[in-house]
Structure 1
Amino acid sequence: MLIAIFFVYQRDTAPEPSLGGAAHDMRQSPKDWTGVEKDGSSLLRDLRDGRIEAVGMAPHALLVSAAGGERYFVVDGRGSFASLVVAEAKTAGAHPFQLFVLPDSTVGAPADDKRALATARDLAGIFLPFFLLALIVYAMRDSIGGGAKVVEKPAGIGFGDVIGAGEAKHALQDIVDYLKDSSRYRDIGARAPCGVLMLGGPGVGKTLLAKALAGECGARFIATNGSEFTSKFYGVGVQKVKKLFETARKNAPCILFIDEIDGIAKRTSSGAGPAESESNRIINQLLVEMDGFEANEGVIVVGATNLADNLDEALLREGRFDRRVHVKLPDVRDRGAIFRLYAGKLRTEGDIDHDQLARLTTGLSPATIAHIVNHAALVAARAGSRSVAMGHLMEAIETTRIGELNGAERALRERERRYIAVHEAGHALVSAVLGYGKVEKVTILPRGGALGVTLVTQEEDQTLVLRSDMEKHIQMLLGGRNAELAVFDEASSGASQDLQQASKLALDMVGRYGFGEDGALFSIGALPAQHASRQIAVAVRQANRMLDGLNLQCQQLMRTHRGALDAIADELLANETVSGERVQELVAQRAPLALAA
C-alpha cells in the first residue's frame, strides 16, 4: 500500500515536459488558432506532406501549426480525426511533429442551443425505439379489447317500448323467464338457448329488440358488431373473440349482442392466403366459445342480420344459434302507432290522420317512418312554417316513396300533359270502379322518374292475396294505357313500367300460384335452372293469354265509364292534383253507359 501511494504521488508531482515553439504558443494562447477553420481532408493532406509542426487536441477540435507559420483548427466533435492524428504520430518517420492535449480549450465547442439539440437527438435515438414498441403494444391491446360496450343499466327499455314485433317478443319471452328464474327450468333439465339469431330487413328494429330483451330480464347488455373482429394485426381477431366472451361471463347475466353478424362471413378453403386463414380462425374461435367448451351460464348471444345466407353453416346448428326469430315489418296498426310516437315529438297543427299515413306507408320499416317524420319537419321549416301539418307529412311520404318534385312540368308540351292526365285518370278510375284499394291522391306533377302519380292504398296489409285481387291489380296497371287508347286512339310509352309489373304478376299467377287456364299446379320455382326453359315458355304463353283477357275487360270498363274518365282528366289538367274523395265523387256523379251487345 505504501509503495502504491508513493508511486501515485511521484506521478502526480512529476514535472510536465517542456513545450517549445508553436506548441508553447498554442498552450499559452489557443485563441490565436481560431481565425481559420479547415476540414479534416486538409489536415490529413498536410500530415502526408510533412507540413505539420504541432497538433493540439482540444475536446472539440484539433489546433494545427503548419510549415510557414500557418495556423488553423479542425472541428472534431466525435474524435475521429484525433485518432487518425495519433496513429500518424506513431509512424511519423522523417516528419515528426509535436502532439499534446489541451484539456481546457473551448475551440470548436458547440453553442448552448446546439448542445441542447445534440443532447435531444441522442436521447431520441435511445428512447424512440422503446416508445414505438410501447405504442404498438398499446394499439394491439386496444384493438384486442374491440368495440364491445357494456351498458350497465339498459332497464329503461322493455318490450312495451317496442311497437309491433309481437311474434318476435313472444319468441323471446321464454329467454326472459329463464334469466329471471333459471331454477324452474333446471329442475326439469331444461337449458336456455345458447344463441338467438334475429332475421329481418334493415331498420325493422332488431337492435332495439335486443336492448328491450336485456331490459325486460334486468340483464346487462354488451353490444358489438361483426366487423369488429377483424384486425390489421395477425391473431388479434381471435383474441377479440376470447376477450368478448370473457367480458360477457364476468358480467353475467347479460345479453351479448352481435349486430351484422354476417360480417364474419363463412369459412373457406380456397387457400387464398393469410387473410383467409385469419378469417377462418376467427369463425372457429367463435364456434368454440359458443359450443360450451367454457361455461356460458347466464350469457345469451343474440346475433342480428338481414343476410342469413352469408352465415357459416356450423354457426346455425343447434347448440349455437339454435333459435331463429323473424322480425317483420310493422302492419298498418303498428305503423299508425309509430307515426303517433314520432309525430308526438314535433310541434304539429291541425288534424293529423295517422291512419291515412299508415296506409300510405305499406312495406316501410320503423326507421323509414322515423325518417319521414323528420323530413316532414324539414319540409315545414323550409316552407317557413313554425309547425308541422298533415300536408307536410304527405309531402314527406311522397318524397320518400316516389322522389322529389323535379320541375319537369315546365318542359312538357300541352299534348304531353293531356296524355299524362288521361293516363293517371285511367289508373284512378279502374281502382275506384273495381274497388281495388283506396285512391288517396292523383297528380300530374312529376316526381323522381314518374311524370304522374296515382296513390292507391289498402285498408289492411294483405298476407294472403286472392286471385280476384290480383286480376283487379292487373286491370288497374293496364288502366293508364287503355285510357290513352280510349281518348286518343293511340298509346304512349308511359305505360312501360305498368306493363312490366302486370306481366310479372301474371307470370307469377300462372307459374307460382296455380291460376293458369289449364289449372296446372306445378310451380316453375321448383325446377332447376337448366330444366326450366320449356316450362317457363308454357307459363309465358298462358300469362299472355291472361293479360289479353284482363285487358279486354279493362277496355270495356273505359268505354262504360268514359264520362268519369274525361271528368277526372279535365280536373287534373285544371288543378294538377285531385284528391281520392273527389275521384269517388266524379265516378258517382256520372252513371255508366249501357253498351250495345
Structure 2
Amino acid sequence: MSRSGIKHRARKLSRNRYWQSAAGIALTFLIAGATWLYSAEPTAAPDMNTAMAVQIQHNDKPWTEHDSRFSNFVDDLRAGKVSEAVTGNDHLYVTLKDGERYAIVDQLGLAARQTYDFVARYTTPRFQFSELKERPSAAFSAGYAIDMAMRLLIIGVVLSVAWPMLWGFVTSHLKRKKKSKITFDDVIGCGEAKQALLDIAAAQRHPERFSSLGARAPRGVLLTGLPGTGKTHLAKALAAECGVNFIAATGSDFSSMFYGVGIIKVRNLFRQARRKAPCIILIDEIDGIGKRASEPRMGETEQNRIVNQFLTEMDGFNGAEGVLVIGATNLAESLDPALRREGRFDRTIAVALPTLEDRKGLLSLYLSKLKKVGEMDIDRLAGTCMGLTPAAIASLVNQAAIFAAREHASSIEERHVIDAIETNRIGEQPSGITPFTEQERLCIAVHEAGHALTAARLKIGKVDKVTILPRGQALGVTLVIPTEDKRLHRKSELENRIVMLLAGRAAEKMYFNEVSSGASSDLQEATKIALSMVSGLGMGPNKDLATLSVMREAGIEVEPGKTLDQVNTLLREQEAVCDALLEEHRDVMDFIVDRLLMEETINGTEVYAALGMNVRSLHAHDAQGLEQAAAYTGS
C-alpha cells in the first residue's frame, strides 16, 4: 500500500473512532437524562389543609425535640389521646388532645402506612390524619443537579472509551490479511492432506467444472491431527493456492462477557466473508465453540445460541458464493455432531505426523534459516526425530542454536542438534541438585540397566543412550528411539513393551530383593497398555472381545473387578517373562551396571556389544508415540 493510501486509511479509522465515541456519549446523556426526568420528584405544592401542617412547614421543632417510639403512639391511639397526626419529612408528627407533641422517626414510611391502615378501618376517623409533601429546597435541588451532572460526566467518559473497545471486540477478528503468502511449497509433508486440499482448491478456482456436472463445491473442511502438525499452515496455503481472500479466527473469538455479542460476531464473520468472496474462513481451535447442551445451565445458554448461529450461517449460503469454511482442531469429538455432518463440514482430513523424508525436508528447511551451520548428517538426525511434529522440529533446531550460543561456539554443530533432540525427549539436565549417595547411584544404575537390556534384547526401537544422571523429572534415563513409522502393533509387540517397562523394577528385585519408588511411572505406563489390551483391543488373558467403552456408552454396567483381574494377570505374566530374561543375561546386566557406575552415561552400542548383537541389523518391532517410547525413567 502506498504512503498516501496508508494515511487515508489512518484518517478513516480516526474518523470512525471519533463518531463511535460521539455516539457513545450522546447515547449516555440521552438515557441518563430520560432516567433523571422520569425519576425526579414532582414539585407539587405541600398539602397544608390543617393548622398543624402549616406550623410544621414553618417550624417542626416543637415535635422533633420530643422523640418517641411507635409503640407509644399505638398506646395513645388505644387510649383515644391522639388529636392529629401528620406524616412527612421522614417523620410522623403527633399532637395529643392534652396538647403534648412528639415525633416518630419514619424514614421507611412504615409508621405512616400503619397509621393510614388504622384510619381506614373506621368510617368516622378517631383523629385527623394528613400527609405533608414538602417542596425540595433550593440547596437540595442544586446538590441533586450537581450530583447528576457529575454522574453523567463520568458515565459519558467511560462509555466514550468503552464503546469503541466493545465495537472492536465484535469486529476485531475480521480485520485480517486479505491474501495469504504461504503456499503448499512452504508446507513440508502432509501429503495426503495436501492432495485432498488441492481437490478443494480446484473447485474454488474452476467452479464451472463442477457446476457443469451438477456437483456442489464443499462448504466446509475439518482438519484434525495432533498439535503442531501444520493444520493452520495448510489452511493458509489453500487460500494462497486458490488465490482468494483469507479470514482467520479462533473458536474463543466468539466468547464474550456481554450476552449476545458472540452471535453478533458469528454474523459479522460470515457477512464479511460474503463481501470478500471468493473467500476462505479459517477457524482455528474450532472445538472452543463446543457442543450444545440438551438442558443448558445458566452459562451454557449463550454457547448453545452461538452453535445454533453457526449451523444457520453454514446452511445459509451455498458453494456458488465462493465461501469455504476450514476448521482446525485437535479435539474433533468436542464439536457438536450437527456441525460435523455432511453439508456443513463435507470433508474431514487427518493431518498425520511427518515421514522420514518429510523430517529430512523440515530439518533442511529450518537449518537453512540459521547462520553459521556446520556439517550435518541429515539422515541420522531425521531418524532420531521420529515421532516429532513439524512444530517440535522447528523448536529443537532453534534450541540447538541456543545451546551453541550458550557455549560461545562459532557455529552450530550436529552435537548441538542432538543435545536439543535429547532435551526434547527426556528433558534438560538440571543443575544444582543434591549429589546421590553410592546406594542411590547403584539402585539407579541397576534400574536403567534393566530397561536397556530388555529394550535391546527384545528389539524395541534403538537404545541410543543410558544415563544415571538426572534429566528433567527423571533421576536416570534410558533413551529408546523408534526406528520406523508404524500404525499397527501386534499383541507380542505390546507385551514386549510391558516387559521393558517392568524391567527396571524387576532388576531392582533381582539385585536387592526389594523394589523402590522409582518404578512408579513405569507401572503407570505398563498399566495403561495392559488396560488398553484388555478393554479395547481384545488381547486380554480371557480373550474377551467386548469393548468396555462401547458398553459404557450403551449404558451397560461393567464390573471393574473382572477387568482389574485381567489387567493384573497380564502384568504378572509379563513380569515372569521379564524375570526370566534378566536371569538369563545376568552377566550382561553386571557389565552394564559397572559401566554406568564408572562413566554415568554410556552409548547404546555398548549394550548391543555386550549382548553380541549388531545394532545396524536391528529391525524394530515397535514405534508407538514418542511420549511412550522415548524415555524410561529410573529411580
TM-score, L = length of structure 2:
0.67
Instruction: Please state how far the C-alpha of 1:355 moved relative to its aligned partner.
Output: 4.1
Match of 2:169 in 1: 143
Instruction: Go from structure 1 to structure 2 and tell me whether the alpha carbon gap of 1:283 and 1:435 turns closer, same or farther (over 3 Å shift).
Output: closer
Instruction: Please state how far the C-alpha of 1:131 moved relative to its aligned partner.
Output: 7.0
Instruction: Go from structure 1 to structure 2 and tell me whether the alpha carbon gap of 1:473 and 1:532 turns closer, same or farther (over 3 Å shift).
Output: farther
Match of 2:334 in 1: 310
CA contact (8 A) 2:461 2:482 kept: yes
Instruction: Please state how far the C-alpha of 1:312 moved relative to its aligned partner.
Output: 2.8
TM-superposition CA deviations, 1:317-348 (whole Å, max 9, x none): 22222222222232344333322221222246
One-letter identity of the residue aligned with 1:214: A
Match of 1:583 in 2: 607
Which 4+ runs in 1 deviate beyond 6 A? 123-133
2:389 aligns with one of 365, 379, 386: 365
1:570 lines up with 2:594 in the alignment: yes
Consecutive unaligned residues in structure 2, runs of 5 or more: 1-148, 615-635
Instruction: Go from structure 1 to structure 2 and tell me whether the alpha carbon gap of 1:502 and 1:311 turns closer, same or farther (over 3 Å shift).
Output: closer
Moved more, 196-205 or 310-319: 310-319
* Cα separation, 1, equivalents of 2:425 and 2:518: 19
Instruction: Go from structure 1 to structure 2 and tell me whether the alpha carbon gap of 1:350 and 1:232 turns closer, same or farther (over 3 Å shift).
Output: closer
Match of 1:288 in 2: 312
Instruction: Go from structure 1 to structure 2 and tell me whether the alpha carbon gap of 1:481 and 1:354 turns closer, same or farther (over 3 Å shift).
Output: farther
2:414 aligns with one of 363, 374, 390: 390
Instruction: Please state how far the C-alpha of 1:370 moved relative to its aligned partner.
Output: 1.6
Instruction: Go from structure 1 to structure 2 and tell me whether the alpha carbon gap of 1:589 and 1:432 turns closer, same or farther (over 3 Å shift).
Output: closer
Aligned runs of 1:15-94 on 2, under 5 Å? none
- The answer to which structure, 1 or 2, has the higher relative contact order (CA under 8 A, 6+ apart) is 2
Instruction: Please state how far the C-alpha of 1:350 moved relative to its aligned partner.
Output: 5.0
Aligned pair count? 465
* Cα separation, 1, equivalents of 2:504 and 2:441: 14
CA contact (8 A) 2:548 2:558 kept: no
Instruction: Please state how far the C-alpha of 1:589 moved relative to its aligned partner.
Output: 8.7
1:203 aligns with one of 215, 228, 232: 228
Aligned runs of 1:176-191 on 2, under 5 Å? 176-191=201-216
SS in 2 for 1:153: coil
One-letter identity of the residue aligned with 2:611: V
Match of 1:247 in 2: 272
Instruction: Please state how far the C-alpha of 1:128 moved relative to its aligned partner.
Output: 8.8
1:557 lines up with 2:558 in the alignment: no
SS in 1 for 2:327: strand
Instruction: Go from structure 1 to structure 2 and tell me whether the alpha carbon gap of 1:409 and 1:269 turns closer, same or farther (over 3 Å shift).
Output: closer
Instruction: Go from structure 1 to structure 2 and tell me whether the alpha carbon gap of 1:263 and 1:385 turns closer, same or farther (over 3 Å shift).
Output: same
* Cα separation, 2, equivalents of 1:354 and 1:362: 13
Moved more, 517-526 or 243-252: 517-526
Match of 1:91 in 2: none
Moved more, 580-589 or 124-133: 124-133
1:223 lines up with 2:230 in the alignment: no
TM-superposition CA deviations, 1:183-206 (whole Å, max 9, x none): 010011111111112222322211
TM-superposition CA deviations, 1:214-261 (whole Å, max 9, x none): 112222211122222334555443333333222212222221111122
CA contact (8 A) 1:267 1:312 kept: yes
CA contact (8 A) 1:252 1:297 kept: yes
One-letter identity of the residue aligned with 1:371: S
* Cα separation, 2, equivalents of 1:248 and 1:257: 11
Instruction: Go from structure 1 to structure 2 and tell me whether the alpha carbon gap of 1:125 and 1:404 turns closer, same or farther (over 3 Å shift).
Output: closer
CA contact (8 A) 2:183 2:237 kept: yes
Rg larger for: 1
SS in 2 for 1:440: strand
Instruction: Please state how far the C-alpha of 1:126 moved relative to its aligned partner.
Output: 11
SS in 2 for 1:304: strand
1:456 aligns with one of 480, 500, 503: 480
TM-superposition CA deviations, 1:576-595 (whole Å, max 9, x none): 111112222222299xxxxx
Instruction: Please state how far the C-alpha of 1:382 moved relative to its aligned partner.
Output: 1.4
* Cα separation, 2, equivalents of 1:230 and 1:161: 33
* Cα separation, 2, equivalents of 1:585 and 1:348: 37
Moved more, 340-349 or 195-204: 340-349
One-letter identity of the residue aligned with 2:484: E
Aligned runs of 1:523-534 on 2, under 5 Å? 523-528=547-552, 531=556, 533-534=558-559
TM-superposition CA deviations, 1:500-533 (whole Å, max 9, x none): 3223323333333223344433333332287554
* Cα separation, 2, equivalents of 1:229 and 1:494: 46
Match of 1:163 in 2: 188
Instruction: Go from structure 1 to structure 2 and tell me whether the alpha carbon gap of 1:241 and 1:533 turns closer, same or farther (over 3 Å shift).
Output: closer
* Cα separation, 2, equivalents of 1:148 and 1:172: 23
CA contact (8 A) 2:552 2:558 kept: no
Instruction: Go from structure 1 to structure 2 and tell me whether the alpha carbon gap of 1:521 and 1:229 turns closer, same or farther (over 3 Å shift).
Output: closer
Instruction: Please state how far the C-alpha of 1:135 moved relative to its aligned partner.
Output: 5.0
Match of 1:492 in 2: 516
* Cα separation, 2, equivalents of 1:457 and 1:235: 51
Match of 2:344 in 1: 320
SS in 2 for 1:494: helix
* Cα separation, 2, equivalents of 1:246 and 1:509: 50
1:256 lines up with 2:281 in the alignment: yes
CA contact (8 A) 1:157 1:211 kept: yes
TM-superposition CA deviations, 1:455-477 (whole Å, max 9, x none): 11121122001122122212222
Instruction: Go from structure 1 to structure 2 and tell me whether the alpha carbon gap of 1:409 and 1:452 turns closer, same or farther (over 3 Å shift).
Output: farther
SS in 2 for 1:459: coil
Moved more, 525-534 or 254-263: 525-534
Instruction: Please state how far the C-alpha of 1:413 moved relative to its aligned partner.
Output: 0.5
Instruction: Please state how far the C-alpha of 1:178 moved relative to its aligned partner.
Output: 0.6
1:479 lines up with 2:499 in the alignment: no
Instruction: Go from structure 1 to structure 2 and tell me whether the alpha carbon gap of 1:567 and 1:131 turns closer, same or farther (over 3 Å shift).
Output: closer
* Cα separation, 2, equivalents of 1:506 and 1:393: 35
CA contact (8 A) 1:140 1:236 kept: no
One-letter identity of the residue aligned with 1:152: K
Moved more, 413-422 or 296-305: 296-305
CA contact (8 A) 1:168 1:325 kept: yes
Instruction: Go from structure 1 to structure 2 and tell me whether the alpha carbon gap of 1:538 and 1:356 turns closer, same or farther (over 3 Å shift).
Output: farther
Match of 2:72 in 1: none
Match of 2:360 in 1: 336
* Cα separation, 1, equivalents of 2:389 and 2:174: 27
* Cα separation, 1, equivalents of 2:439 and 2:201: 65
Match of 2:572 in 1: 548
Instruction: Go from structure 1 to structure 2 and tell me whether the alpha carbon gap of 1:208 and 1:475 turns closer, same or farther (over 3 Å shift).
Output: same
SS in 2 for 1:147: helix
One-letter identity of the residue aligned with 1:195: G
* Cα separation, 1, equivalents of 2:585 and 2:155: 88
Instruction: Please state how far the C-alpha of 1:210 moved relative to its aligned partner.
Output: 0.2
Instruction: Please state how far the C-alpha of 1:427 moved relative to its aligned partner.
Output: 1.2
Instruction: Please state how far the C-alpha of 1:137 moved relative to its aligned partner.
Output: 5.0
SS in 1 for 2:480: strand
Match of 1:78 in 2: none
1:172 aligns with one of 189, 197, 208: 197
CA contact (8 A) 1:407 1:446 kept: no
CA-atom RMSD in angstroms? 3.1
Consecutive unaligned residues in structure 1, runs of 5 or more: 1-122, 591-597
TM-score, L = length of structure 1:
0.71
